Structure 1
Amino acid sequence: MGTEGSHEPLIISTKEDNSFGYIKKPSFLLKSTKWVLKIAMWLIFISWASFLFLLPSDPVNNLYKKFVTATNGTLFGVTGSIFLIYSGPVIIIAFHAIIYLKITEGEEIQEKKEKTASFRLWTYPVIIDGPFGVVTAAELIGIVLFGVYIIWAVTAYTITNISLLPLFQVTDAGKRYVILLELTGLRLGFIGLICLAFLFLPVARGSVLLRLIDIPFEHAARYHVWLGHLTMLLFTLHGLFYVIGWAIQGRLIQELIAWKSIGIANLPGVISLVAGLLMWVTSLPPVRRINFELFFYTHQLYVVFIVFLAMHVGDFIFSIVAAGIFLFMLDRFLRFFQSRKTVDILSAKCLPSGTVELVISKPPGLRYNALGWVFIQIRELSWLQWHPFSVSSSPLDGDNHLAVLIKVLGDWTEKLKGRISSVTGDKSVTDSLLQPNFALKASIEGPYGHESPYFLTYENLILVAGGIGISPFLAILSDILHRIRESKPGLPRNILIVWAVKNSDELPLLHSLDINSICPHFYNVLNLEFQTYVTRESEPPLEEGKIPSYASSSKFPAPVGGGMSSLVGTGHTIWSGAYMVVSTIGLVLLVAYLNIFYINPYNITHWWYKGLLFMVCMAASVILFGGFVIVLWHLWDIKTATNVEKNSTISGLGHDESNGYKNPSQEGFVNVIKYGKRPNFEDIFGNMAERWGNVDIGVMVCGPTALQTSIAKECRSKNFKRTSNEPIFHFNSHTFDL
């Protein structure tokens, strides 16, 4: 197939299909319900965010105080009022999101492909080399809004603090300075709590909120990092201002170890801050990159940080941040249950390029996208280490398994490679195939990723990969080919894959996808071109063109209860929604019973103790009420899996049924391999701009940070210099870098 021009699609279908990600035309009632839910969620969010932003102003602050005072006599008291104002909107939006996700599940992608190019804030890179990495226009707006809020809040509270000084009736300048320091520290602590209210939302991997806005966990983790730095800076200044004030007054030690019954308990705050500082320091890039395990293990101190924070501020102040922490607890408890189940690894291969492929059993109903992620733990290698890997197979390759490609780079991956080699008895490792009955087991969390296959919203794609970064793009290509074979409408028509590798022994990875086997006549619909760059070799090796062969078996055997667990936030909308709703109801009931039968009758007034009890109620609601739903979900999962096993058999991975590498025909697409060169993205993007014209081009990159930066710069440059007849390049990064 030639590389010039583009073919019109010859395969067009108008039939309805309920397969994942495609057509299920909703009724008018469902459409109306969806819009009502969307409008309601936006109104709640805007009202909540506006309240938080305007709270430092006197009018809003006075209204807030009046509301709290008016509801103080209720069963839940001040704690209930503050929880309703600060955390209630987040929970209510999450409830709406469950219904919305269920309604839109399996719907056709709503973002239609336009005939002419148009800008999108979330794919337009603006800042490239700043402290935040590659920042899109939408992310920049969020950063600016947070920055404006911090400046506005600090300014407003400083003015308020100065106006309050006469109330203390202190004439000594030194004492007035100390009072101002402590008031400023108090305000900084409150602003830190507002940031903390958002901090845990991005790291609830299967959260309905992330699914609602279609931000995958690997992207949301960046926002957690940004918020973490800001939150810890504010909390550090909060503590520092108090320490300076106490030191000036000569009562530093007494205050640091003070544990008041009524009011703020200082010592729990010190413990919480120390735990937070340890997490913060070890998360800084110089420490994290040198010793990732130190960062990972130290980060488990978040439990100490949160528990002692609750004891430091008491229940009613802690309820400001309760929603985000509660949603994270729900996700963490569910992940704990999913990871308890060991999973059958159907096959494992060590490839010549120093890459391991694992094919993992999964239940048919566990849905994911071609750009999904899973977290893998292999207890024979380590009881503590979890590693994220991109799924290299399409969900259309088969219902009962998924595949991941793992580059051997560190100690854990070296152990995995050695383990596979030891089972097969092949010491060379390079040509080993692990038979399906081997003793290696894995624990899995996930899959996670985009809620919808967003790559299908582009008619024109440029996929840029570095080394093992080709893995998710193999999944994308397989997914598109399957959809072409099934006559799906609205698919990409032009795809350019640019792949940079260090050595030619990585090239066989491309042949793991037998394109012509999946869809022999795809070239009638799709223009596909590969450009491969081997950067450390100046000429082809003598063995070029020879694809290594492996022992083969025609089919993978059915696992015996060893598939992945579907107990994951992204696994089943109804069950995961019921888990959250029942747990929330449980929290309300437990707090109510605690007030009725313990706190009020026994006149419990200790702030730190009530904060601890509130945390216990949160944990108990997740464990008891949420655990009850998890048990029912698990039983339903077993029954469903049993019914499926009776009516189906498990076949091999669609792109590699023989369990070994094939030498696929090159018919239907261009594959150019260049040695001793790096890709010139300015020329590549320029050629595509001339060829495709005034269209949207989805640019996806998976690889090292330097590669992402280069692609983002080129997208920004081309978009800034764009004329009316040229395309807009939409930057999308697919990488997981903590």
Structure 2
Amino acid sequence: MASYGVISAIRGAILMLALLVFLGNIMMWIIMPTDTYYDNWLLHILADTNSTYFGIQGPIMLDFTFPILFIAILGCVYLHLGKKVASTTRSCERSRELRILKRPMIVKGLGIVTLTELVLFTLFIALCVWYFSDYVRHWFRQALARSITRGEKVWQTKFDRVGIVTGVTGNLCLTFLFYPVTRGSSILPMLGLTFESSIKYHKWLGNMAMALFTLHGFIYIVYWIITHRLSEMLKWGDHYVSNIAGEICLLCGLSMWITTYPSIRRKKFELFLYTHYLYVLFIIFFILHIGIGFATIMLPSLYLFIIDRCLRFLQSKENVRLVSARVLPCETIELNFSKSRELETLSVLVKCEGNWTRKLYDLISSTTPIEHIRVSVEGPYGPATTDFLRHDMLVLISGGSGITPFFSIIRELIFISSTQKCKIPKVTLICVFKNSSNLSLLELNNSSFHKSADSCDLELRIEAYVTREKAHPKSKLESPTTISFKPNPSDAPISPALGPHSWLWLAAIISSSFIIFLILLGVFTQYAIYPIDQNTNTLYSYTKKGSMNMLFICFSIVMTASFAFLWNKKRNAMEAQQIQDTEETKASKTSTSFFEQDDVELESLPLQSITKSTNVHYGQRPDLERFLLDIKESSVGVLVSGPKKMKRDVAAICSSGMADNIYFESISFTW
């Protein structure tokens, strides 16, 4: 236990150091638009970092790139040490003190947010306003002299300056845009966030960035029209801002922005998905538009995202071992994959909601026997740990297929109970279905826990609601059908892309790739850029400089990430050879179903030690407010996975203040 205390202290120190570095980075953002930065700080920074190896790009990377990458490395060490700390329950008293910070609120345009999120979002808006207003003030002072030089009216020059500042403020939003979508990020879990729960931040930042960039482009088109310089739209500034590159960048951004509209994203998801790949062109032409020097400000989040995307790409090229599948009557299939270093499986539930999922369902459920399906995966992704042990009771509320994320939570609680013998909360699962065929999802839940029934102390109660049927159907409900596959010898079990020590490997990739990038950039600047900039009247091409920087970044990341991935792949293959092949079984069908009873209250007979009771209610919806307010336990964690209206209703109940023992867990399972 003493070692755990030391590790906890080290993790606390790492977290504090990361916070201090981040606050210093934010201070640079606040200071940058001011006269103090331009007249004092920048001069000293340039003097102290004067080098022929990095040029003006060096101090910008020192101020804005290095601190964030350093935080990401600290996050890797923090999370690696976290694996060695035993799971402990948090103090309920501390939770009550911080309750107001986590209380959910429904804000129009933002959805369900906590007070902490609302405060941070407000502070970010304030930073954008400060950034915009102080830059406008700074450049308006130069408007008169600039208007004389250009031969235009002062108000026209000011209009031009407003256009520049609008784009610069959009770059501030773009700087943070990629953090929420970096799935293997070390920064998000260090803050207690998951990829799914952070997607809303990406949406907020994306909407703000595109609104500002669109306004930026509109202002400049108007400016060129009123100054009779519309031909500027066709200029590619090789030594300054490239207008054509900016226009291409804006068109790519608008294409992505339009397809994020909810009706398009939900009904034509593939259009949304493939259009979003235009972010590659968006970033390329953005860098060519403003130059690599200024683009370095937004480099950290993009750098970490490229590392993550490279690792995901490498992982998706591997064929994984699909051992079996179960076909459910509710047009849902469960795919079971072999996991490395153990004989258990990893399950994925897929519901028919579109063309691709329909084809997969028809393929697996067809009467023609299938021995093998070639499958590749990315991930899995999700929270590294759950913090639910601090509660006395958990209430899991789901709608339709939204029940599936709760299976993982319940399984983890069962694992903790059977291995660590610590106190775990009671669990009540409230699931709402349209038809009784969806009740087969619960059979997946029960059969998954059969092996742990004797060694688990979890008290699980299930309240199922079938809204579109008035009574239990007279016809016999179909049972799930199990299909076994014969994997190819080359198929590998699912394993982490970077092995069991993935956080340390990620830290090595971040640090080593950035060092290689700096070496390549230094050599290139010293022998290609510096001689031209110093000895001639022309500057080195901004287009070539930006292109070479992008090439160096991609080369450094691909080289280091590929080495780390292939090294761990080799080790995973050696471990996979030691796994006993127990997956070759004949296709069989499950013949029992616990939904063939006439009464509403059902017992899961194989799991009486786990499941307290299962009640099925027909023709009604749950009275969530009455149910939650009647709970007497001192600390109740409430999680919701389902339609937006259900989430908002539960959030409203938890934030109403009618009960002091209810804690809304703001974890998102969908985006």
Q: Normalising to structure 2: TM-score of the pair?
A: 0.90
Q: 2:651 aligns with which of 695, 712, 715?
A: 712
Compared with structure 1, are the counterparts of its residues 630 and 568 closer, same or farther at alpha carbon in structure 2 (3 Å cutoff)? closer
Equivalent in the alignment of 1:202: 180
CA distance in 1: counterparts of 2:574 and 2:416, whole angstroms:
30
Compared with structure 1, are the counterparts of its residues 74 and 41 closer, same or farther at alpha carbon in structure 2 (3 Å cutoff)? farther
Aligned residue runs from structure 1 range 558-707, under 5 A: 560-567=490-497, 572-603=502-533, 605-642=540-577, 644-645=578-579, 648=580, 650=582, 663=594, 664-665=604-605, 667-668=608-609, 669-688=612-631, 691-692=632-633, 695-707=634-646
Aligned residue runs from structure 1 range 312-711, under 5 A: 312-364=289-341, 400-422=344-366, 424-425=367-368, 438-492=371-425, 494-512=426-444, 513-514=446-447, 517-520=450-453, 525-543=457-475, 548=479, 550=481, 560-567=490-497, 572-603=502-533, 605-642=540-577, 644-645=578-579, 648=580, 650=582, 663=594, 664-665=604-605, 667-668=608-609, 669-688=612-631, 691-692=632-633, 695-711=634-650
Give how far 1:602 is off: 4.9
CA distance in 1: counterparts of 2:531 and 2:293, whole angstroms:
19
Compared with structure 1, are the counterparts of its residues 552 and 123 closer, same or farther at alpha carbon in structure 2 (3 Å cutoff)? farther
Provide Cα deviations, 1:562-614, integer angstroms capped at 9, x if missing partner.
Answer: 32353259972222222222211211111112123322345561222211111
Provide Cα deviations, 1:647-701, integer angstroms capped at 9, x if missing partner.
Answer: x555799xx999776644163512221111011111111111xx22xx2211111
CA distance in 1: counterparts of 2:2 and 2:400, whole angstroms:
40
Asked whether the 8 Å contact 1:271–1:308 carries over to 2, the reply is yes
1:231 and 2:209 are equivalent in the alignment: yes
Query: Which amino acid letter does the alignment assign opposite residue 669 of structure 2?
Result: T
CA distance in 2: counterparts of 1:447 and 1:633, whole angstroms:
17
CA distance in 2: counterparts of 1:633 and 1:202, whole angstroms:
26
CA distance in 1: counterparts of 2:37 and 2:423, whole angstroms:
49
Secondary structure at the counterpart of residue 209 of structure 2: helix
Query: Which amino acid letter does the alignment assign opposite residue 564 of structure 2?
Result: V
Query: Which amino acid letter does the alignment assign opposite residue 292 of structure 1?
Result: F
CA distance in 2: counterparts of 1:64 and 1:111, whole angstroms:
47
Give how far 1:214 is off: 2.9
Asked whether the 8 Å contact 1:125–1:731 carries over to 2, the reply is no
Asked whether the 8 Å contact 1:362–1:399 carries over to 2, the reply is yes
Backbone CA RMSD of aligned residues: 3.0
- Higher alpha-carbon deviation: 604-613 or 193-202: 604-613
- Higher alpha-carbon deviation: 303-312 or 466-475: 466-475
Compared with structure 1, are the counterparts of its residues 527 and 169 closer, same or farther at alpha carbon in structure 2 (3 Å cutoff)? closer
Equivalent in the alignment of 1:732: 666
Query: Which amino acid letter does the alignment assign opposite residue 629 of structure 2?
Result: G
Equivalent in the alignment of 1:281: 258
Asked whether the 8 Å contact 2:4–2:85 carries over to 1, the reply is no
Query: Which amino acid letter does the alignment assign opposite residue 650 of structure 2?
Result: I
Give how far 1:332 is off: 0.7
- Higher alpha-carbon deviation: 254-263 or 68-77: 68-77
Query: Which amino acid letter does the alignment assign opposite residue 670 of structure 2?
Result: F
Compared with structure 1, are the counterparts of its residues 707 and 249 closer, same or farther at alpha carbon in structure 2 (3 Å cutoff)? same
Query: Which amino acid letter does the alignment assign opposite residue 628 of structure 1?
Result: F
Query: Which amino acid letter does the alignment assign opposite residue 609 of structure 1?
Result: K
Secondary structure at the counterpart of residue 636 of structure 2: strand
Asked whether the 8 Å contact 2:325–2:483 carries over to 1, the reply is no
Give how far 1:73 is off: 3.2
CA distance in 2: counterparts of 1:169 and 1:503, whole angstroms:
71
Give how far 1:491 is off: 1.8
Unaligned stretches of 5+ in structure 1?
1-23, 365-397, 426-433
- Higher alpha-carbon deviation: 171-180 or 42-51: 171-180
Secondary structure at the counterpart of residue 119 of structure 2: helix
- Higher alpha-carbon deviation: 573-582 or 351-360: 573-582
Unaligned stretches of 5+ in structure 2?
534-538, 595-603
CA distance in 2: counterparts of 1:302 and 1:550, whole angstroms:
42
Asked whether the 8 Å contact 1:121–1:138 carries over to 2, the reply is no
Asked whether the 8 Å contact 2:319–2:491 carries over to 1, the reply is no
Equivalent in the alignment of 1:154: 132
Compared with structure 1, are the counterparts of its residues 638 and 242 closer, same or farther at alpha carbon in structure 2 (3 Å cutoff)? same
- Higher alpha-carbon deviation: 120-129 or 265-274: 120-129
Q: 2:142 aligns with which of 141, 164, 168?
A: 164
Give how far 1:129 is off: 5.1
Asked whether the 8 Å contact 2:112–2:648 carries over to 1, the reply is yes
CA distance in 1: counterparts of 2:161 and 2:284, whole angstroms:
24
Query: Which amino acid letter does the alignment assign opposite residue 721 of structure 1?
Result: M
CA distance in 1: counterparts of 2:434 and 2:503, whole angstroms:
43
CA distance in 1: counterparts of 2:667 and 2:101, whole angstroms:
9
Give how far 1:558 is off: 9.6
Secondary structure at the counterpart of residue 446 of structure 1: coil
Equivalent in the alignment of 1:371: none
- Higher alpha-carbon deviation: 704-713 or 161-170: 161-170
Secondary structure at the counterpart of residue 448 of structure 1: coil
Equivalent in the alignment of 2:270: 293
Compared with structure 1, are the counterparts of its residues 195 and 550 closer, same or farther at alpha carbon in structure 2 (3 Å cutoff)? closer
Equivalent in the alignment of 1:372: none
Compared with structure 1, are the counterparts of its residues 516 and 572 closer, same or farther at alpha carbon in structure 2 (3 Å cutoff)? closer
Asked whether the 8 Å contact 1:362–1:563 carries over to 2, the reply is yes
CA distance in 1: counterparts of 2:177 and 2:358, whole angstroms:
34
1:217 and 2:195 are equivalent in the alignment: yes
Provide Cα deviations, 1:74-97, integer angstroms capped at 9, x if missing partner.
Answer: 521110110111111111101111
1:176 and 2:154 are equivalent in the alignment: yes
Give how far 1:731 is off: 3.0
CA distance in 2: counterparts of 1:558 and 1:150, whole angstroms:
55
Asked whether the 8 Å contact 1:125–1:134 carries over to 2, the reply is no
Give how far 1:729 is off: 2.3
Asked whether the 8 Å contact 1:715–1:730 carries over to 2, the reply is yes
CA distance in 2: counterparts of 1:115 and 1:649, whole angstroms:
49
Secondary structure at the counterpart of residue 455 of structure 1: coil
- Higher alpha-carbon deviation: 662-671 or 526-535: 662-671
Query: Which amino acid letter does the alignment assign opposite residue 707 of structure 1?
Result: M
Asked whether the 8 Å contact 1:464–1:499 carries over to 2, the reply is yes
Asked whether the 8 Å contact 2:160–2:220 carries over to 1, the reply is yes
Query: Which amino acid letter does the alignment assign opposite residue 616 of structure 1?
Result: L
CA distance in 1: counterparts of 2:575 and 2:149, whole angstroms:
76
Equivalent in the alignment of 2:236: 259
Secondary structure at the counterpart of residue 107 of structure 1: coil
Give how far 1:180 is off: 0.5
Compared with structure 1, are the counterparts of its residues 280 and 599 closer, same or farther at alpha carbon in structure 2 (3 Å cutoff)? same
Asked whether the 8 Å contact 2:61–2:296 carries over to 1, the reply is yes
Asked whether the 8 Å contact 2:393–2:635 carries over to 1, the reply is yes
Provide Cα deviations, 1:211-240, integer angstroms capped at 9, x if missing partner.
Answer: 322311111221111111111111112222
Structure ranking higher in helix proportion: 2
Give how far 1:208 is off: 1.4
Compared with structure 1, are the counterparts of its residues 559 and 172 closer, same or farther at alpha carbon in structure 2 (3 Å cutoff)? closer
Query: Which amino acid letter does the alignment assign opposite residue 404 of structure 1?
Result: V
Secondary structure at the counterpart of residue 322 of structure 2: strand
Asked whether the 8 Å contact 1:25–1:108 carries over to 2, the reply is no
Give how far 1:120 is off: 3.9
Compared with structure 1, are the counterparts of its residues 119 and 705 closer, same or farther at alpha carbon in structure 2 (3 Å cutoff)? farther
Equivalent in the alignment of 1:721: 658
